[in-house]
Amino acid sequence: MRTTVGIIGAGPAGLLLARLLHNAGIDSVVLESRDRAYVERRQRAGILEQGTVDVLREAGAGERMDREGLRHDGIELRFDRRRHRVDFPALTGGRSVMVYAQTEVCKDLIALQLKEGGPLLFEAEALAVEGAETDRPRIRFRHQGAEDVLECDYVVGCDGFWGVARAAVPDGRTFERTYPFGWLGILADVAPSHDELVYARHDRGFALLSMRSPSVSRLYLQVPADTDADDWSDERIWDELERRFETDDDWTLRRGPLTQKSVTPMRSYVHEPMRHGRLFLAGDAAHIVPPTGAKGLNLAVGDVVTLARALVHRTATGSDELIDAYSATCLRRVWQAERFSYDMTTLLHTAPDATPFENRLQVARLERITSSRAAETDLAEAYTGFPIG
Ligand code: FAD
Ligand code: DHB
């Protein structure tokens, strides 16, 4: 098999890249190791930055998002039993975010790809990328029990943190931090208890109230990194959420039947560079952020927009200028998201070895954000998203 751009992975990065290339008349093949149902059900991110929303619309993939997604103009910070709303449009000149789940973004992009785009092969596992430094890179893969080779002009590793593409970038440097806690995430059939997201700092640990629709709540609890989700009964989860969200006013948490429950580890990770010859890394294949700032999916979108532009520029002009700038261009934005995600994580989570001094500092940082327009604007600008490219 032969194509112009071989894409490994049908997560948000791989699917959107295929769509952007298709719209520009560049052919691609997407190889995905899992089946379609698995990719469409994997519960992950829920917040789209303004820039991501704009990109999906421009790519012709925003129709259902505009119908079913929930525009959010702010978040609530909760600490010391107090509540503070951060008003995004007022602080950023009109920017907001959209609550529209990663599962739905993937469903929309898969449907478009199968209808209009190039081949998208499920249960096709990439085994290795070969010849990245030549002008004929190849992906060895296994599909329906047989090994095959995809010959390409360019290969893009959109295969997530555990993929194979990164291994084909020699002499890379990695920067990493793991955290001694994770998130226990639940999905519950109950109307969200608040109409915007609530990020809560509590001495017992962080809690986040989010949503998937007007009738489905998504909630997260900080738990120790080695937590087994089965150790948490539904009642224990609701009791703990209630404690961490408690306020001095009459706010109450609505409870409902759980439909999903799982633990996500937290990690910061960057691999530099994001390119070797004709192999590019995009999204989680190159970098991971802890989820507190809701940046993971949005970073993946920024990478593939930058890469699509570079490949289109190369096709139109023959110039490698943007391709050569790809890694550095993406990494500038990646490191801003790493910084913000780290700041949000350390602002809101209780480290197991935190001293009383550090706990007080967290509250002081929160009080600074809620009392200084400059500090609050800094948060709002980062949360609604850094410019792409
Ligand atoms: P992925 O979505 O990981 O997609 C990679 C794809 O490649 C997968 O479909 C995988 O099956 C496929 N693949 C892997 N190896 C191969 C191979 N060898 N051959 C073929 N295909 C392969 N972000 C947030 O903002 N908020 C959240 O709440 C949040 N929760 C998360 C929970 C979990 C458990 C994880 C893992 C991530 C979470 N993230 C969250 C991060 C966000 O979901 C990711 O940043 C986003 O999915 C990145 O998209 P991607 O396309 O780069 O990678
Ligand atoms: C969600 C996840 C996040 O990491 C976040 O910061 C906000 C919302 C979510 O899954 O809804």
Amino acid identity for residue 178 in this structure:
T
Residue 374 CA, ligand 1 centroid: distance in Å:
34
Asked if residue 38 lies in contact with residue 86, where contact means CB atoms within 8 angstroms, the answer is no
| Alpha carbon distance 124, 147 (integer Å) | 9
Q: Is the peptide bond before 224 cis (omega within 30 degrees of 0)?
A: no
Helix (H), strand (E), coil (C) string for the chain: CECCEEEECCCHHHHHHHHHHHHCCCCEEEECCCCHHHHHHCCCCCEEEHHHHHHHHHCCCCHHHHHHCEEECEEEEEECCEEEEEEHHHHHCCCCEEECCHHHHHHHHHHHHHHHCCCEECCEEEEEEECCCCCCCEEEEEECCEEEEEECCEEEECCCCCCCHHHHCCCCEEEEEEEEEEEEEEEECCCCCCCCEEEECCCCCCEEEEEEECCEEEEEEEEECCCCHHHCCHHHHHHHHHHHHCCCCCCCCCCCCEEEEEEEEEEEEEEECCEECCEEECHHHCEECCHHHCCHHHHHHHHHHHHHHHHHHHHHHCCCHHHHHHHHHHHHHHHHHHHHHHHHHHHHCCCCCCCHHHHHHHHHHHHHHHHCHHHHHHHHHHHHCCCCC
Q: Which residues line ligand 2 (CB under 6 A)?
A: 45-47, 197, 208, 210, 218, 291-292, 294
Q: In the prediction, which pLDDT does 231 show?
A: 97
Residue closest via CA to ligand 2's atom 6 equals: 294
Question: Which protein residue's CA is at the shortest distance from atom 24 of ligand 1?
Answer: 45
Q: Where are the domains of the chain?
A: 5-72+99-176+267-344
pLDDT for 108: 98
For 136, phi then psi, to 5°, come to: -135, 65
Q: How confident is the model at residue 387 (pLDDT cuts 50, 70, 90)?
A: confident
38 pLDDT exceeds 80? yes
pLDDT per position as a tens digit, 206-220 = 999 999 999 999 999
pTM: 0.97
**Closest-approaching ligand to the CA atom of 72:** 2
Residue nearest to atom 31 of ligand 1 (CA): 44
Spatial CB neighbours of 239, under 8 Å, sequence gap ≥ 6: none
- CA–CA distance, 250 with 192 (Å, rounded to integer): 16
The alpha carbon of 12 and the centre of ligand 1 are apart by a number of angstroms equal to 8
For residue 39, the CA-to-ligand 1 centroid distance in Å is: 9
pLDDT digits (tens, 9 = 90+) for 179-237: 999 999 999 999 999 999 999 999 999 999 999 999 999 999 999 999 999 999 999 99
pLDDT given for residue 335 in this prediction: 98
Mind telling me the catalytic residues?
A: 72, 199, 291, 295, 383
Any idea which ligand is nearest the CA of 129? 1
**Which ligand places an atom closest to the C-alpha of 160?**
1
Q: How far is the CA of 150 from the centre of ligand 1 (A)?
A: 23
- What value of ipTM does the predicted structure carry? 0.96
Say how many Å lie between the CA of residue 242 and the centre of ligand 1.
30
Range 5-72+99-176+267-344 has CATH code 3.30.70.1400 = no
Is residue 43 pLDDT above 90, yes or no?
A: no
The rounded distance, in Å, linking the Cα atoms of 126 and 20 is 22
For atom 3 of ligand 2, the residue with the nearest CA is: 294
